[in-house]
Amino acid sequence: MIGIYLSGTGNTKHCIEKLTSLLDETAQAVPIEKKSITNLLSQHDFILFGYPVQFSNAPMMVRDFIKKHADLWKNKKVLCVATMGLFSGDGAGCSARLLKRYGAEVVGGLHLRMPDSVCDVKLLKKPLEKNREIIQAADKKIENWAENIKHGKYPKDGLLFHHQIAGFIFQRFWFHSKTKDYSGNLKINNSCIGCGSCALVCPTGNITMNQNRATAGNRCTMCYRCISVCPKQSITLLGERVIEQCRFEKYIKNEPKNFSSET
Ligand SMILES: Cc1cc2nc3c(=O)[nH]c(=O)nc-3n(C[C@H](O)[C@H](O)[C@H](O)COP(=O)(O)O)c2cc1C
């Protein structure tokens, strides 16, 4: 068994690491941008596949990853795990349908509500204590399902037809254009000091350093990692200014840690 994930602000990383270790303490959880991922994927038959929901869809990088490894999914058992700030309808179903197309057996779908990761939009921001409660509830759900999965019973979040209808009507119909491709809308303003933290953490290699300034390309998967680590809050995507740098670590400890490059 292996856990694989895309995670922007650390929520999905936490959830996949926790579920993976509860199911098999010897199993690894690795990010999809890791260089050895193809090799690791081919070695395992049971995969926990996690990602953050974006406008009730799987992030572009996740959909790309599934397609890029099309020949590796056949006969793999996959549990799709989608984390979300509020609601997704069929967050897990979005990858499940694609994986099935390539021959995977989707054994389940798990939806986990976690703190909101959109650093430059105020809408879903919560006080620290509320976010801690949300994480505790997600941890409890993971623990309960880990026990069930050990007995062969899997969650079905986001996999049924009415979930698909809900995801479509409440989100994808309105926001489809936001997730249909990588984004070229990442903005880096003049306060950038050229530290390179953003380029280091970007999972798609979308940010490059030119003459001590960060420059964004058009392959942003909207994970918000760069925005959450920029020491000058110089980067925005959906909003005009950074409201809060969302990082999983800060909900569980007082001092946020730096992301490290995991490739
Ligand atoms: C661009 C974007 C779109 C999002 N859309 C949704 C959404 O439609 N529904 C929802 O509940 N959460 C949404 N979220 C919140 C994230 O899914 C949620 O905070 C997730 O746990 C982040 O996980 P991560 O830290 O592993 O990236 C969105 C986040 C981003 C960055």
Spatial contact of 239 and 121, defined as CB atoms under 8 Å apart: yes
Q: What does the pLDDT look like over 61-76, one tens digit per residue? A: 999 999 999 999 999 9
Spatial contact of 55 and 172, defined as CB atoms under 8 Å apart: yes
Identify residue 7 by its one-letter amino acid code: S
Domain 187-252 top-level CATH class: alpha beta
151 Cα–ligand 1 center, Å: 30
User: What is residue 173's predicted lDDT score, i.e. its pLDDT?
Assistant: 79
Cα–Cα distance, 117 to 176 (Å, whole number)? 19
Question: Which residues make Cβ contacts (< 8 Å) with residue 130, sequence separation at least 6?
Answer: none
Nearest CA to ligand 1 atom 4: 54
Ligand 1 neighbour 175 (Cβ under 6 A) = no
Ligand 1 neighbour 11 (Cβ under 6 A) = yes
**CATH number for the domain whose boundaries are 2-179:** 3.40.50.360
Ligand 1 neighbour 51 (Cβ under 6 A) = no
Q: Would you kindly state where each structural domain of the chain is located, as residue ranges? A: 2-179, 187-252
User: Which of the residues in the chain have pLDDT under 50?
Assistant: 255-263
Nearest to 87, CA basis, from 167, 175, 6, 179:
167
Tokens standing for 17? Answer: 């690491």
Cα–Cα distance, 11 to 17 (Å, whole number)? 10
The pairing of beta strand 2-5 with beta strand 29-31: parallel
88 Cα–ligand 1 center, Å: 9
User: What is residue 263's predicted lDDT score, i.e. its pLDDT?
Assistant: 44
User: What is residue 176's predicted lDDT score, i.e. its pLDDT?
Assistant: 83
Q: Give the predicted TM-score (pTM) of the model.
A: 0.94
3-state secondary structure of 44: coil
Closest ligand 1 atom to 10 CA: 25
Strand pairing partners for 142? none
Ligand 1 neighbour 84 (Cβ under 6 A) = yes
User: What is residue 201's predicted lDDT score, i.e. its pLDDT?
Assistant: 98
Nearest CA to ligand 1 atom 3: 54
Same fold, 2-179 and 187-252: no
Strand pairing partners for 80? 49, 109
Cα–Cα distance, 121 to 242 (Å, whole number)? 8
Helix, strand, coil abundance in the chain, percent, nearest 5? 40, 20, 45
Cα–Cα distance, 187 to 6 (Å, whole number)? 22
How many C-beta atoms surround the C-beta of residue 22 within 10 A? 16
